[in-house]
Amino acid sequence: MTGRLENKVVLITGTGGGQGKAAAILFAKEGARIVGCDLKVEDSKETVRMVREAGGDMVSIEPLDLTIAAQAEKLVELTEKTYGRLDVLYNNASAARFAPMMEMTWEDWDFTIRNELNIIFVVTKAALPLMVRTKGSSIINTASVAGIVGAHGNSVSHAATKGGVHAFTRQLSLELAPHGIRVNSISPGMIRTPATEFIFKDQKLVDMMVQGIPMGRYGLPEDIAKVALFLASDDSGYITGADIVVDGGMVAS
Ligand SMILES: NC(=O)c1ccc[n+]([C@@H]2O[C@H](COP(=O)([O-])OP(=O)(O)OC[C@H]3O[C@@H](n4cnc5c(N)ncnc54)[C@H](O)[C@@H]3O)[C@@H](O)[C@H]2O)c1
């Protein structure tokens, strides 16, 4: 049977983390050749190992800091040298600092802007020339429900960057449509990953959180990877400038 991403080359950022790892494994199963990267060396290498052990094809660079333009360019160079094309860019990686506005420092704010918003600009800019040459490609940006509703505490910088990801996605989709490149975003709700693992140490907090989710459960990295697979595949060939909320109904409630 042919996979849904057969012959496609997919660059996923942050493949050492929860959602990036799940996407690399799922996309490779669907026939994609994967390029990954992460700041975290061991976690990133483990993903490569898992993909290859399952019979998939993946290369990656670690450690790699995507906020540095030269490093993002290195990743795109690896993509071109290894596979000669780039069909899907999945901007998944990010890192944020959370604090109430009264306590948030300039450094916290600046860190979050660089690691959640600038990171997407830097990688997309580096990847675009190859994507334009590839034709028929797709960009997936990871936003958040925090960019839509103000329900989370201590999140001014995170909410601002993720709202920025929504706006960036819409605007870029218009610019790139004539090149045949689709640009969409995913807004995850509460997903259990290394980034949110601290919450799961406190059962009371988990119960409270789950009560606020109409579907009665938190999300798993695979819930997001399956939606990213749709946006990466030709099944979403007429969708651009869209955001898909994947949150068990949180935003609707
Ligand atoms: N987990 C959630 O509940 C949730 C909710 C909404 C949105 N998101 C978004 O989903 C995406 C994935 O998050 P996750 O929960 O899987 O987090 P995660 O921390 O498990 O994975 C993110 C990975 O990105 C890497 N990374 C961060 N900055 C980097 C940089 N500058 N260069 C290279 N690699 C870098 C990290 O090392 C990490 O391995 C993020 O954009 C996050 O904002 C997550």
Asked whether residue 253 is domain-assigned, the answer is no
**Whole-number pLDDT of residue 152:** 66
- Cα gap 241→133, rounded to integer Å: 21
- For the CA atoms of 176, 177, 180, 186, what is the dihedral angle to 10 degrees? 80
The ligand 1 atom nearest the CA atom of 191: 3
- Is 70 in a helix, a strand, or coil? helix
**Residue 22 forms part of a structural domain:** yes
Q: Which two tokens stand for residue 109?
A: 């704010």
The full length of the chain comes to: 253
Total Cβ atoms within 10 A of residue 104: 16
Q: Report how far residue 93's alpha carbon sits from residue 195's, in angstroms, rounded to the nearest whole number.
A: 11
Mean pLDDT for each consecutive 10-residue tract of the chain (253 residues)? 94 98 98 98 98 98 98 98 98 97 97 98 98 96 96 88 98 98 98 95 94 97 98 98 98 94
- Per-residue confidence (pLDDT) for residue 173, from 0 to 100: 98
Q: How many domains does the chain have?
A: 1
Residue nearest to atom 18 of ligand 1 (CA): 17
Q: Dump pLDDT digits (tens) for 110-141.
A: 999 999 999 999 999 999 999 999 989 999 99
In a domain, 19, yes or no: yes
Q: Which of 193, 222, 223, 251 has most ligand 1 atoms within 8 Å of its beta carbon, as the pocket-test mutant?
A: 193
With respect to residue 164, please indicate whether it lies within any of the assigned structural domains. Answer: yes
pTM: 0.98
| Residue 66 DSSP class | T
At residue 153, the pLDDT reads 74
Q: Is 92 strand, coil or helix?
A: coil
Whether 26 is covered by a domain: the verdict is yes
- Return the CATH number at 122: 3.40.50.720
Say if 167 falls within a structural domain: yes
pLDDT value, residue 206: 94
pLDDT at residue 151, as a whole number: 72
Strand ranges in the chain using DSSP code E only, listed in sequence order: 9-12, 33-37, 57-61, 88-91, 138-142, 182-188, 243-246
Q: How far is the CA of 112 from the centre of ligand 1 (A)?
A: 12
Pairing label, strands 88-91, 9-12: parallel
**Which of 13, 44, 66, 94 should be mutated for ligand 1, with most atoms under 8 A from CB?**
94
2 inside domain: no
Residue 167 sits in which domain range? 9-245
Assess if residue 182 is contained within a domain: yes
Distance, CA of 149 to CA of 130 (rounded, Å): 35
Provide residues with CB under 6 Å of ligand 1: 14, 16-20, 37-40, 43, 64-67, 92-95, 115, 119, 142, 144, 188, 190-191, 193-196
Q: How would you write 5-37 as a 3-class SS string? A: CCCCEEEECCCCCHHHHHHHHHHHHCCCEEEEE
Residue 190 exposure: Cα atoms within 13 Å on the Cβ side: 24
